[in-house]
Amino acid sequence: MRMITWLNNKIDQLLQPELLRPENLGQLHPGDYVPIPSDIVLPSIITAFAFVLIRHIFDRLVVYPIGTYFGLKDSIPRKNTFDHPVLEQEYKNSKSPTSDVILVLSKKTGISERTIQFWFKKRKKQDKVSGIKRLSDSSWSFAFYFVLSWYGIYVLSNKQWSTKTEDCWKGWPLLTVSNDMYYYYLLELGYYISYIYMLFTDHKRKDFLEFFIHHNVTVILLILSWSVNVVRIGALVLCIHDPVDYLLTFAKSAVYCKKHRVADVCFVVFLFLWILTRLIVYPYVVLYSVYIELPTLAENDINIKTLDSSLVIQFLKALLVVLQVLHVLWTILIFKSAATKFTRGELQDARSDSEDDEKDEDDDDVLNDENFKEMSNNNTGNDGIGQ
């Protein structure tokens, strides 16, 4: 307990400005509460561990039965190939080596270039993500965003400042936080911390870097906004984002379960709401409030002026712009996905598919290649490869 108390004190000293320290808040009425960093940082880490555990239970009790019902496989059959340390090392560096690299590998190993090309194709298919794994990822995200989006709407439905954003700043630093707002922040923060971990354990995404940046930016935004008590604008950001995300994850789950008509309908609704929330509501409500309303109020209020001029707020403003840049980048990817739907007749999520997501090709010519068969026969006993 002493260690936890010491750690909490250090968290408060590090993250909370002097103006917001508990000992300086004597003006609060009995029962009023303002955010303290130590009240959410360690609890959110515990919540993240809980989410990881719940995710595994959710997979076993919900995802696997549903996936099995719709005929999804828990694993990908391994293609017949051979183990070769030199090729394996190059595979770790690049899954799709250039022709020049293949030529060098051919000279180094004595294997024909054609056989090496086939080896890399088949090696990539060994790493292909199973349908159950994809369904697990999308279903878990759907479950969280569905529950938290409606909880967020419920929490903000009786908050006057949710429709009058300049009230998000008036009265700072003595802006009290209700219990439902605390739990809203705690669950969101715990989820994003857990998801950063799961980005490394789930299948690799095409836009892994964008997701990694997005989730880390979100965690920093949540912690800093809590620390300087700008929770109201932070809650608006969360409430704007979550309802759209569960539509996309549900559409992806429908695709994996071969329910393409359901996926198409969800995707159309998602596309409309994405544009509405990310490209209209977010910049014209959140960014407008942060960059226009806050400086205007600061002209007549010394406390708000102190807030607006602080390095923390300037940093938060920059992060909010980073989110908007990501929104634009993802919008481009989503429209590419929509274009694919109309040109190929199938829905693809360009925003977060596996980077190994490629159409299977007929590999009979590979298996019939004499050089390949010879190398495979000579190496089937190595490390279980080729079984």
Q: How do residues 144-155 score in pLDDT, each as one tens digit?
A: 999 999 999 999
What per-residue confidence (pLDDT) applies to 353?
54
What per-residue confidence (pLDDT) applies to 45?
94
Other Cβ atoms within 10 Å of 275 Cβ, number: 16
Single pTM value for the model: 0.77
What per-residue confidence (pLDDT) applies to 146?
96
What per-residue confidence (pLDDT) applies to 292?
94
What per-residue confidence (pLDDT) applies to 110?
81
The DSSP result for 51-117, as a single string, is HHHHHHHHIIIIIHHHHHHTT--SSPPPPP----HHHHHHHHH-SS--HHHHHHHHHHH---HHHHH
- What mean pLDDT, rounded, does the chain reach? 80
Q: CB burial class (10 A; 0-12, 13-18, 19+) of residue 148? A: buried
Q: What is the CA radius of gyration of the chain?
A: 26
Q: Domain boundaries in the chain?
A: 33-69+131-344, 85-128
What per-residue confidence (pLDDT) applies to 16?
62
The overall longest dimension of the chain from CA atoms, in Å, is 84
Task: Categorize the per-residue pLDDT at 343 as very low, low, confident or very high, splitting at 50, 70 and 90.
Answer: low
pLDDT tens digits, residue range 158-197?
A: 999 998 999 999 888 778 899 999 999 999 999 999 999 9
Residue 354 sits at φ, ψ, to 5 deg, of -65, 145
pLDDT(377) > 50: no
Average pLDDT for residues 37-63, to the nearest whole number?
Answer: 94
Contact 253, 139 (CB under 8 A): yes
Query: What tokens does 133 get?
Result: 């794994």
Angle in degrees, CA 55, 58, 64, rounded to 5: 120
What per-residue confidence (pLDDT) applies to 324?
93
Q: CB burial class (10 A; 0-12, 13-18, 19+) of residue 210? A: middle
What per-residue confidence (pLDDT) applies to 311?
85
What residues are paired with 354 via a beta bridge? 205
Report the alpha-carbon distance of residue 264 to residue 291 in Å, rounded: 37
pLDDT tens digits, residue range 275-322?
A: 999 999 999 999 999 999 999 998 888 888 888 888 888 988 998 998
What per-residue confidence (pLDDT) applies to 97?
79
Contact 291, 165 (CB under 8 A): no
pLDDT(375) > 80: no
Percentage of the chain with pLDDT > 70? Answer: 77
The set of residues, in sequence order, having a beta carbon less than 8 Å from that of 358 and lying 6+ positions away, is 124
Average pLDDT for residues 214-230, to the nearest whole number?
Answer: 88
CATH topology of domain 85-128: Arc Repressor Mutant, subunit A (1.10.10)
Task: Categorize the per-residue pLDDT at 231 as very low, low, confident or very high, splitting at 50, 70 and 90.
Answer: very high
